[in-house]
């Protein structure tokens, strides 16, 4: 059964801030792979844990749309993954494109989409607190602009993947550890791994519920290819 839609209000006279979560999909994927050796994340449960006792307005997930002609299998895997995301309550998906650089496909415009929504939704007063799931320092200026509008911005990332600029400018930080995700995996068996490196992003400076999206089925469509389906048990 779908959970009831979160609404703004108060409990026992206490104001509950509206929370909007902005997920940099590729940044999160590689952080999970690097720090947890798996990435089959239940995005519904993940969003609920990030919001805590506050009211979750909506989660926004950003990534790149795979090229069907360049890699049909990767495209099909991505569609399965996206289907699960689309059926996750109160989660919206935003997909950018890609371009070929030499023999490598790199994402195009995804960070701009996230930063634009972060600013626009603050300006239109859709949230009180933004949680940015990314360690990318390129978002620092947008975060400062949102703070200047009177909103609070929290950053959620692994310490090793969190840029100095973004860490210093955020109002608060959720520093991930592998233990943070113990109850958030969509699969209870051994970790999944990706091996192919044909799709890469440019270098950066330095919950379990039915119909809930997970990286487990085609989540690595942002930066790594699928010449051999990309997975090893």
In the three-class reduction of DSSP (H, G, I as helix; E, B as strand; rest coil), residue 138 is classed as helix
pTM greater than 0.85: no
Domains and CATH numbers, the chain: 16-232 (3.40.50.1010)
DSSP classification of residue 10: E
Residue 66, pLDDT score = 76
The two three-digit tokens of residue 58, written as one number: 């909506």
CA atoms lying within 13 Å on the CB side of residue 79: 8
Report the chain's C-alpha Rg in angstroms: 17
Q: Is the dihedral of CA 56, 62, 67, 71 positive or negative?
A: negative
String of DSSP letters for 38-55: ---B-HHHHHHHHHTTSE
Q: Along the 233 residues of the chain, how does pLDDT read in single tens digits? A: 444 444 444 445 567 899 999 999 989 989 999 999 988 899 999 999 999 999 999 999 999 887 777 778 877 887 888 888 998 999 999 998 766 655 555 666 899 999 999 999 999 999 999 999 999 999 999 999 999 999 999 999 999 999 999 999 999 999 999 999 999 998 864 444 433 333 334 343 333 333 445 555 444 444 333 323 332 22
Give the model's pLDDT for residue 108. 65
């Amino acid at each position: 059964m779908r959970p009831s839609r979160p609404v703004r209000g108060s409990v026992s006279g206490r104001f509950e801030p509206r929370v909007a979560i902005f997920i940099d999909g590729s940044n999160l994927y590689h952080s999970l792979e690097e720090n947890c050796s798996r990435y089959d994340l239940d995005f519904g449960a993940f969003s609920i844990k990030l919001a805590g006792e506050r009211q979750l307005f909506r989660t926004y997930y950003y990534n790149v749309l795979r090229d069907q002609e360049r890699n049909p299998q990767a495209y099909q895997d991505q569609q399965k993954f996206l289907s699960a995301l689309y059926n996750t309550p109160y989660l919206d998906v935003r997909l950018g494109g890609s371009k070929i650089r030499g023999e490598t496909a790199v994402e195009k415009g995804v960070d701009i989409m996230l930063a634009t929504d972060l600013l626009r939704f603050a300006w239109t007063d859709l949230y009180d607190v933004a949680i940015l799931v990314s360690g990318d320092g390129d978002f620092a200026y947008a975060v400062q602009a949102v703070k200047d509008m009177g909103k609070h911005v929290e950053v959620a990332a692994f310490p090793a993947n969190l840029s100095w600029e973004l860490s210093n400018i955020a109002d608060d930080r959720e520093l991930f550890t592998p233990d943070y995700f113990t109850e958030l995996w969509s699969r209870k068996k051994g970790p999944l791994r990706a091996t192919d490196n044909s799709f890469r992003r440019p270098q950066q400076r330095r919950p379990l519920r039915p119909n809930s999206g997970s990286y487990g089925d085609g989540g690595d469509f942002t930066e790594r290819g699928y010449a051999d389906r990309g997975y090893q048990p």
